[in-house]
Structure 1
Amino acid sequence: MARVSQEHLDARRRQILDGAAICFARNGFHATSMQDVLKEVDLSAGAVYRYFSGKEELIAAVVGEVLASVRGAFEEASRQSPPLPPDELLTVVLGRTLAARENLTFEGEPAFPRLVVQVWAETLRNKELAVVLHDGYAGVRAAWARIVEGYQDAGMMRADVHPDHVARTMIAAAVGFLAQQALFGSAPVDVLRDGLRALMSMSDERTATGGSQLG
């Protein structure tokens, strides 16, 4: 009997993971059955169970990939020196993240943003996944805090704000944009870039005049 190549094994595992990801994006983790996954990937139960023991293992694998994709893009951005300004940096990070999963679609829309939202929902139910998400989020925050420190060291950003506070805000912009994509339909990442660029262009008239205009 001819040996199955590693490339074939990897491709089959990828096929199963992508099919499961589409199912999870469509119906959520809890409502998706293994039968749904089998139908999506058009494989027998034996073929799928050769790679994954059941739905929980599939969920763990898909969630792990989602978190690794987001974290990897953020950490790669943190290694750039000097760092790109926030508007460009977030555009690059989200662009790479979405492009890496552009083959996954749901009703003509990218499935990845929906999958991210489903991951958040699942971690509210699954304590083990909640720990994984918490660790992944902590890693992203640390990476982006280093970026902020780079801004401050280069004189690009005021130094009297804690780097973690800025990091949380940039992460909020990124995940909020993904949530909007999932809820309201896809939009180019240039939309986020332009919005951030406009916000960054504002001048603080209160500082210029020595006090608040609201008092």
Structure 2
Amino acid sequence: MARVSQAHLDARRRQILDGARRCFTRNGFHATSMQDVFQETGLSSGAVYRYFRGKNDLITAVAEEAFERMRLAFESASHEAPLRPLADVIDGVLTHVLEEQARTSGVDRPGAFAELIVQVWSETLRDEGLAATLNAGYDRMRAMWGKVVRTYQEAGHLRADVPTDHLVRALMALVQGFILQQAVFKDVEAELRSGLRALLSPHA
């Protein structure tokens, strides 16, 4: 029997995750069944269960990937030189992540990713495993943001007399609020971006 390559295994796992994310984006977590995932991916139950034990594993994997992509996008933007205005960095990363996630979910609207993230947040209230995953991702995000914020503090773009972690938590809350409002109220993106720039840009 021929040995299956790692590239094949990785591609199959990618196929399953992409299919599950499309289902979750369209139908929500609770309305999506494993049968929906089988149909979406065109794979048998055995093929899917080889990689994931069930829907909770898929939800956790989709959530981990979504938050890791956002973390990496902010990390990449933070390494650009010279420093861009912080409002530009946050705005650019949100645009990139929301549009990229919508594209890979097969949905042509950026708000789809915001809706998926809000589902993840609500699911953590009843799923301790997912809550632990989210907390770990949050800690990684805070650590990365800490590096970004310190850079801006040292450059004089943010107040140096405020503890870095306090600024990090406030900025993350701002981004989380952006995602929540886009998911719930839909057509508010232009207003949110305008307000974001006004809050984070120095006075003229």
SS at match of 1:158: coil
Distance 1:73 1:186, change over 3 A: farther
How far 1:87 moved relative to its partner?
A: 0.7
Which runs of 5 or more structure 1 residues have no equivalent in the other structure? 204-215
Q: Is the 8 A contact 2:64 2:137 kept in 1?
A: no
After TM superposition, the structure 1 = structure 2 runs for residues 77-92 of structure 1, keeping only pairs within 5 Å, are 77-80=77-80, 82-92=82-92
User: TM-score, normalized by length of structure 2?
Assistant: 0.82
Amino acid across the alignment from 2:73: A
Name the structure 1 match of 2:136.
135
Asked if 1 retains the 8 angstrom alpha-carbon contact of 2:153 and 2:160, the reply is yes
Residue in structure 1 matched with residue 74 of structure 2 by the alignment: 74
Structure 2: how far apart are the matches of 1:32 and 1:157?
44
TM-score scaled to structure 1, two decimals? 0.78
Q: Which amino acid aligns with 1:195?
A: G
The whole-number CA distance in structure 1 between the counterparts of 2:66 and 2:54 is 19
1:186 Cα deviation after fit: 6.2
Deviations 1:187-207 (A, max 9, x none): 76x76543222234575xxxx
Paired residues of 2:87 and 2:201 also in contact (CA < 8 A) = no
Structure 1 residue identity aligned to 2:58: L
**Deviations along 1:70-129, whole A, 9 cap, x unmatched?**
2222233344455422211102221332243222144x4343222111111111111111
* Alignment partners' CA distance in 1, 2:202 and 2:149: 19
Which segments of 5 or more consecutive residues in structure 2 lack a partner in the other structure? none
C-alpha distance in structure 1 between counterparts of 2:170 and 2:42, whole Å: 42
Asked if the contact 2:114/2:179 (under 8 Å) is kept, the reply is yes
Q: 1:148·1:166 contact (CA, 8 Å) conserved in 2?
A: yes
Counterpart for residue 65 of structure 1: 65
Instruction: For residues 29-82 of structure 1, give each alpha carbon's deviation from its aligned partner in whole angstroms, at most 9, with x where no partner exists.
Output: 333221121122232222322322322222222122112112222233344455
Q: Would the alpha carbon gap of residues 127 and 109 (structure 1) be closer, same or farther in structure 2, given more than 3 Å must change?
A: same
Distance 2:199 2:98 in 1: 24
Deviates more, 1:45-54 or 1:63-72: 45-54
Task: Report the counterpart of residue 165 of structure 2 in structure 1.
Answer: 164
| Aligned pairs for 1:17-36 within 5 A | 17-36=17-36
Give the whole-Å Cα distance in 1 for the aligned partners of 2:184 and 2:193: 19
Residue 25 of structure 1: CA displacement? 2.5
Q: 8 Å contact 1:87–1:192 — kept in the other structure?
A: no
The amino acid across from 1:66 in the alignment is A
SS in 2 for 1:161: coil
Q: Alignment partner of 1:109: what SS? A: coil
Task: Kindly report the root-mean-square deviation, in angstroms, between the aligned alpha carbons of the 2 structures.
Answer: 2.8
CA contact (8 A) 2:78 2:89 kept: no
- 1:167 deviates by 1.4
The letter for the 1-side match of 2:127 is N
Partner amino acid for 1:15? Q
CA contact (8 A) 1:87 1:194 kept: no
Q: Distance between the aligned counterparts of 2:73 and 2:20, measured in 1?
A: 23
1:53 is aligned with what amino acid? R
1:124 aligned to 2:158?
no
Q: Match of 2:129, as an amino acid?
A: E
How many pairs were matched up?
A: 202
- SS in structure 2 of the partner of residue 88 of structure 1: helix
Which letter maps to 2:88? E
